[in-house]
A and B are shown apart, each in its own frame.
Chain A
Amino acid sequence: MLSKLLSSQIIIYHCILFFSFSLSVNYFVNLEIINYFAYVCFHLTLIYLFFYFFHFALIFLTFLYGIFFDIFLVDNISPHLITFLIFSVLFYFARKYLFNLSSIKISYIIIILSLLMFFSEALIANLLFNYPINYENFIWIFITFIIIFYPTLLLFSKIDKL
Chain B
Amino acid sequence: MALSFKVKAISRKRLIKNISLSFIFLFSVILILFSKSDYFFVNKFKSISNTYLHPITSFIVSPVKVASNLQTQFYEFRNLKIENKILKEEIMRLKKWQALAIHNSSENRVLKKLLNATNNDLSLVKTASILSRNDFLYSKMVIINAGLKDGIITEMAVINHRGLVGRTIDPSINNSKVLLLTDPNSSISVKTISNENHSILRGADDGIHLVSAFNKSEKMPKVGDLVVTSGSAQVFPADILVGKIVKVIKNNFYVLPFVDFKKIDYVQIVETK
List chain A positions with a Cβ less than 8 A from chain B.
18-19, 21-32, 34-35, 39, 56, 59-60, 63, 66-68, 70-79, 81-82, 85, 89, 92, 125, 128-132, 134, 137
Contact = CB atoms under 8 A, between A and B. Distances in A.
Contacts of B133: 26-29
A70 B35 CA distance: 10
A71 B32 contact: no
Contacts of A30: 68, 71-72, 75
B17 A71 contact: no
Given A19-B60, A26-B65, A132 B136 contact: no
Contacts of B263: 29
Given A74-B138, A130-B185, A67 B31 contact: yes
B58 A26 contact: yes
B137 to A, nearest CB: 6
26 contacts: A22-B58, A22-B61, A23-B61, A23-B64, A26-B61, A26-B64, A26-B133, A27-B133, A27-B136, A28-B65, A28-B68, A31-B64, A32-B136, A39-B136, A59-B21, A63-B24, A63-B28, A73-B137, A73-B138, A78-B35, A78-B36, A81-B28, A85-B25, A129-B138, A131-B138, A137-B137
A66 B50 CA distance: 15
Interface in B176-229: 177, 179, 184-185, 205, 207
Contacts of A67: 31, 45, 49
Contacts of A32: 136
Nearest to B204: A132
Interface string B135-148: 11111010000000
B102 interface: no
A25 B20 CA distance: 28
> In terms of DSSP, what is the predominant structure of the interface of chain B?
helix
A76 B35 contact: yes
A57 B25 CA distance: 14
B125 interface: no
Interface residues on B, range: 35 or more
> In terms of DSSP, what is the predominant structure of the interface of chain A?
helix
B137 A82 contact: no
B93 interface: no
A70 B263 CA distance: 25
B84 interface: no
A132 B184 contact: yes
Given A21-B57, A31-B68, A82 B138 contact: no
Name the residue among A30, A78, A89 with the largest chain B CB count within 10 angstroms.
A30
B61 A131 contact: no
A66 B137 CA distance: 15
A28 B135 CA distance: 9
B42 A60 contact: no
A74 B139 contact: yes
B129 interface: no
A71 to B, nearest CB: 5
B132 interface: yes
Given A25-B57, A28-B65, A81-B32, A73 B71 contact: no
Contact of B134 (A27, A92, A132): A27
B64 A59 contact: no
B58 A68 contact: no
A73 B21 CA distance: 25
Q: Which 9 A-B pairs have the closest CB atoms?
A: A22-B57, A27-B133, A77-B35, A27-B136, A132-B205, A22-B60, A28-B68, A74-B138, A31-B68
A25 B134 contact: yes
